[in-house]
Structure formats: C-alpha cells, structure tokens
Amino acid sequence: MRGVYFRGSRWQKGVFRFLMYTMVIGSALIFTGLYHVYFDRSALPDIEPLIRFEFPTIGHVYDINDQPIIELAREYRRNIGYKDIPPIVRDAIIATEDKNFFRHNGVDYSALPRVLSKIRIGSLARKITGIRWNNEDNRPAVLPQGGSTITQQLARGYFLKDLMAFQYKTNQENGNHLRQGISLPRVLSYIIDSRSINMLVRKMEEIRLSLWIEKKMRERFGSKRRAKEEILARYASLIYMGNGQYGFAAAAEYYYGRPLKTFTVDDAEKAVVLAGIAKAPSYYAPSARNTERVLRRRNQNMALMASNGFISVESAQSAEKKTIPVAVRIKTKTSLGPAVVRNVLDDLKGFRADLGIEDLLQGRIQIYSTVDGRVQQIVNEALEHGLERYEKRHPRFRGLIQGSVIVLRNRDAGILAESGGRQFYQGRLASYSDFNRVTQSVRQPGSAMKPLVYLAAFQHGKFNLDTLVPDRPIGVRDSGEQSTKWISNYDNEFQGVIPLRKALAESRNAVAVWVSQRIGIDSILQVSRSVGIQTPLKPYPSTALGASEVNLMELANAYRTIASGIMAQPHVIRRIVLASGEELAEKEPSGVPVNIDDEVLFLIQEGLRGVVRIPGGTAHSLDANWFPIPVMGKTGTTNEFRDALFVGSTYGPEGITVAVRIGFDDNRSLGRKETGNRVALPVFKEIMLRVYREKILGPAPVFPDRMEKNINNYLRSRLVEVEDDPVPESEIPEVNI
C-alpha cells in the first residue's frame, strides 16, 4: 500500500508540475504576444507612402483635347478622398465591415466574444489528443477567420503582403505548412495546427500595425475623427473588388457603369453589393454564375444597414425586392492608337531619365500627347477601308495584307495620328506592344524617294522645273561594277526630251537616274539628311529610285520639312503631370528653318504640286471637284509591287503631312498594277477629305498664287503633250556640272 501511495503521490506531483510549467509557459507566451502587439514598435514599415495616399492607380495617355487614348495599370484603381465617398456608401461599408469603426482605436474588442465563440473546439481537441483527420489537408482550422476591423484590413492589404520580417503572404495563409520561423509559433504549433498559427501570427501583426497606424494618423491629421476619415478613404481605394478592379470607385464604374460619386440613398442596394464584394471578391462579385449568392449577401447587408439605423426598415425591404445586375460592364482596355502608345513609351525614355513605363503603369504620371483622337479615328477607319478594297480584288489575301499611316503637324512634327497596322490581325486586336510598322518597319520607299533627287538637283543650281531632261534608256553599273542594269519606266515607254516637272509628275525612272548621275549620289544623300532622313542610305545609283530602305516616319518627316520649310523631330509627348501635381515642361520643339534656299524649296513644292495638277501625274486623281483639298505629294511603288506608298501634304506650317504604306509583312508582291496610286492614294484621300470636311484642323491652307500660276502657264502650253518626234540626243541642253 505504501508503494501504491508513493506512486500516487509522485503522479500527483507530476501533474502539478505539468500544470505549473504549462501555466508559466502559457503566461510567458501570452506576455510575449501582448508585448509584441502593444509595445514592440521595432521593424515597422515606412508609413509615409500610406499617409501620402500613394496607392498605385491608373496611368493615362491623353490626346490633344485631353481625352484618354489608353489606360494602363498594374492595378485598376481610382483613389478617392473621404468626401468623394457618398454617405450611403460609407454607411454600407461601416455596417458591413466594422460598425464601431469611428469609436475604436484600430481593434474592436467588443467583437472578441463573437470571434472566440467560433473557435472550433473539436479541431483543438483532436490536435491535443493526436487524433488524425482522414484528410489532413482539408481539416478545419482551429481559429476562425473574420473579426478584422477596417484598419486591420487596410494594414493587411497594404503592409502584410510585403512585410519580409514575417516572410508572410496573405494569399497563402490557409495552407497547413508553418511558414514562420520564430520560436513563439513553433511552440504553439505543438498545441494547435500550423494553419491556425499562421492565421494567429497574421492577426497579431494586423493588430500591432492597426494600433500604430491609428496613432500615426491621429498625429498627422490632428484628431481621431479626421484620422478615421483618412483611413476609410484609403481602405475604400485599396481593397480588391474582383475582375481586376481595386477600390470602390473603379468597382462602381465596372459593375454599374456609373461614377461612385453619383450614388445616392436610392442606391442603397448597389452600395451594399459593393461593400459585400470586399469580403470575398471571387465569391460575392456580381456575375451570371452567382446571382443567388450575391442576392443573399446583399439582403443580409441591407438588414445590417437597417439594424444600425443607416436606412429605414421599409427602405431595406423595398431594396431587397430589386434584382442583382448580372451583366458586368467589361471595360475595354484596347487603345485608340496602339502605335501612338508605343511611341509615347519610346519617347518617355528620353523625356526625363528617372521616368519610365513603370511610372505610367503605377499611375504616378499622366501623359498628354500631341495626338488628336478624332484624326486617329479617321486614320484607323481609312486604313481599314483601304485594306478591304485591296482584299476585294485579292480575296485569297484576306486578313494578310498590312498597312501603316502617320500624320504629322507641319509646323513642329507633332504626331497627330499613327497606325502601325490593322486593328484586327491574326485573330486578335492590335496592342501597343505589337510591331509598329511606322517606326520599326524599314522598307524601300520606291518612287517616293524621287523628290529628294530633284531637290538635290535644284540645290545644285543647274536645274529647274522647266529644264529639259532625257527620258531615254539609261544603264547603271551594279555595286560590283560587273554588269550594267538598264532602267525602264513603269509603262515600258520612253518620251524623249521632256521638262523636268513632267518627269517628276509622271515618275519617270530614266530621268531620275540621269539627273542623279549628273549631280552625284552624295548630293542626294546630303539633301536627304538635311530634310530628316536618318537611316543611312546606300551610295548606289539605285538609291535614286528608292532602293535604300527607310521607315515611314522619317519619310513622312522629309515631306513635312519640304512642305513647311521647318526642320523638326517627330514627337508625341506634350507634357507630363506627376502624381504630386507637378507639371513637367512641354516637350514640343518649335523647329528651325531648314538649311535649304527658299527658292529651291519653292521649286520642289511646285514640282510636288504638279504631281497632282498635271494630267498624267501619278496623283492627278486628286485634282477633281469632289476633292477640294489643295495638296501636293508623290506616289511610290517598289520593285515587283512589294509596297505601295503615297506621301502628301497640305501647304506650309499650318498644314499636315500624311504618309501611307501598304504591303505584306513577308515582302511578297501585291500583284501587278497594285501601285501607290491604286492602293495607298485612296487611303490618303479619305484621311484628307474627312479631316478638313469635319473641320478638325481648320481650313486647308492654299498654295502661293505664284506657284499655281506657274503650273497654269505650263498647262496652257503644249509642253504637257507627248512629243510625236523625239528630240535628238544632240538637242538636249548641256548641263554643266
């Protein structure tokens, strides 16, 4: 018996020691936890961005009329102040998420009994006794979710997802793997499951951060009430609302197609639906699949609104009879001008060293461009119409043909519109990240290069528009000087001796080569650089016929320089506004006079005007009553009809320049007779007609009287007719070089 008593005594002492150790350890753990939450303010994140309300928002690129061309964002959010949140929406948030929000200091202790009542005792008992679940991965957590105040949710959403001290990711907190490496959670994990430990540690950190946030906000804004208002505004802007939308303002536009500020007391049911989404966006966001679930959640929230005195019982009952909208308003994120946006992003790199695309994606900057959205829409439609016309002639190429268009303002080379390709290609809508055929495609300009040959000739001083030149067979040596290539004209005919203006108007290849031989290829290369061609051109005779490759942007800029007499670099950014409201200086070059004599410039302008006005000119179809816009320009068709181009302008600094190129990306032939006149010129016509008829840019500038009279005098003469008897070679005037 003594042995039994002794053993019983030792058993009792052991139990006593175990209970004492448990109480001591438990007290130590509780003390450690309380100290960490209420007194430990080490390793805290930087609160200044939160106070300054620096949440990622939406970056915009605006046109010249301050209309958005595109929205870009990593998170589609619109930050809103407290006063921008309608009272009915504030009430819905508070009733649904945190009814004591304006009374507590970040933690609502009155909710503690409700949270504790939800502890899953069965799960705790199984953990302590070691009884395993059939499916350990799906066993319920010991601790319940919920009970977070608005401040705690703000702390979790803004800080905890990036807080490296806890190596914590909130979107993984339901996993059963213990992610914290510190001792307290390790000890507790022997009592309750790892998933609950993760939740407990997150909750402790939420509380710690919430108390700290409320204190700092009171210090900064001067009162508890103002601090609460600022916290609510940040919560309403930060929270994820499903379908890629962040914050109540973005969600209101997405789900209801209305600005949040328009909500009134009559929109109570909409307000509570939005408030309910924040709880679990994937579960409560309105859609055709979960109407009943959202309806049930909405009615529960309406009852909370009524019980808290935010709305009357009658209003709640009336609202509960309304249906849930199931059609989500899908916001298009396609751009009005993808190529324009691509240019904006490229120009941004050189605008200021510390600015980049990430600033736009985070909404830290807003960009105001030179683009006119109305002109851009016209360009988009005109290019599609031109491609459709080609496809009707060649049905087998439907959907394969491509094109590009650029419209420049003459006075400063501001980009008014730009299309780097068709709007729908290879099964999807065009994106700003796609290949931009205006700037990235380097192709031969064909006969669109010839005006630069004649400009060089005029600058040389021995040629003018009335100089007689030979349209006769002419050979050029290839680059290896091994053989001679004989130059032919498009019509395979030669007209003998003709005025230079006629050679330019009718795009006679033989004459262009003959002129280039007289003045030298270096003169052509030098003049090309002086008017804006930046791509190095090859010093070969074939360059006079457009065999050297350039991109459409610089070709358009060369014609713009000729039309205006102003040298400028194409640009698309007018100004940039920072999130702080600071406005960066406009990047809008005024341009400088081109280094070409005025009379020489006048000659090439008159020559290009003659391409339109002279019968037989490749753009003579523009000289018609139905096309009252005075323009000048030049067609271009490359070897084997691979590309069709037209570049033309209205006159002077107040005019515009439009360049069009159509062809296949794989450089296959467009087909015989598919010339610049037939394929590209109709696109140019439509753009010019609509831009000026719709009075987007004001009246079309007129050409100088002297220029028009010179052309009229030529037309009245009989030099425009084809000579019946070719002039002998010996009668061609000698040109001294």
Q: Which residues of 180-217 are buried (b: 16+ CB within 10 A; e: fewer)?
A: beeebbeebbeebbbbbbbbbbbbbbbbbbbbbbbebb
Q: What is the per-residue pLDDT for 178?
A: 37
- Look up residue 397 and give its DSSP letter: G
pTM for the model stands at: 0.80
Residue 701 tokens read as: 């500038």
The domains spanning 46-74+334-731 and 75-319 adopt the same CATH topology: no
Q: Name the residue with higher pLDDT: 140 or 199.
A: 199
What amino acid is encoded at 318 in this protein? S
pLDDT at residue 235 is higher than 50: yes
Q: Name the residue with higher pLDDT: 385 or 124.
A: 385
The burial of 542, by beta-carbon neighbours within 10 Å (0-12 exposed, 13-18 middle, 19 or more buried), is given as buried
The burial of 163, by beta-carbon neighbours within 10 Å (0-12 exposed, 13-18 middle, 19 or more buried), is given as buried
Number of Cβ within 10 Å of residue 716's Cβ equals 9
Stretch 54-71: mean pLDDT:
92
Can you tell me which residue has the tokens 């796609």?
434
The Cα 461–Cα 558 span in angstroms is: 21
Nearest to 481 by CA among 545, 540, 548: 540
Q: What is the per-residue pLDDT for 326?
A: 58
Q: What is the per-residue pLDDT for 192?
A: 54
pLDDT at residue 737 is higher than 60: no
* 3-class secondary structure, 140: coil
Looking at every residue in the chain, the average pLDDT score rounds to 85
CATH fold of 75-319, please? Penicillin binding protein transpeptidase fold (1.10.3810)
**What digits encode the pLDDT tens for the residues 454-507?**
999 999 988 999 999 999 999 887 655 567 788 888 888 999 999 999 999 999
Stretch 398-410: mean pLDDT:
96
pLDDT at residue 218 is higher than 80: yes
pLDDT band at 637 (very low <50, low <70, confident <90, very high): very high
Domain ranges for the chain, please list them. 1-40, 46-74+334-731, 75-319
Give the chain's radius of gyration (CA, Å). Answer: 38
**What digits encode the pLDDT tens for the residues 494-530?**
999 999 999 999 999 999 999 999 999 999 999 999 9
Residue 627 tokens read as: 């096309």
Nearest to 420 by CA among 341, 333, 349, 356: 341
The burial of 291, by beta-carbon neighbours within 10 Å (0-12 exposed, 13-18 middle, 19 or more buried), is given as middle
pLDDT band at 148 (very low <50, low <70, confident <90, very high): confident
Residue 269 host element (H or E): helix 268-277
Does the domain at 46-74+334-731 match CATH 3.30.70.1450? Answer given as no
Stretch 689-698: mean pLDDT:
96
Whether the Cβ atoms of residue 451 and residue 505 lie closer than 8 Å to each other: no
pLDDT at residue 280 is higher than 70: yes
- Look up residue 627 and give its DSSP letter: B
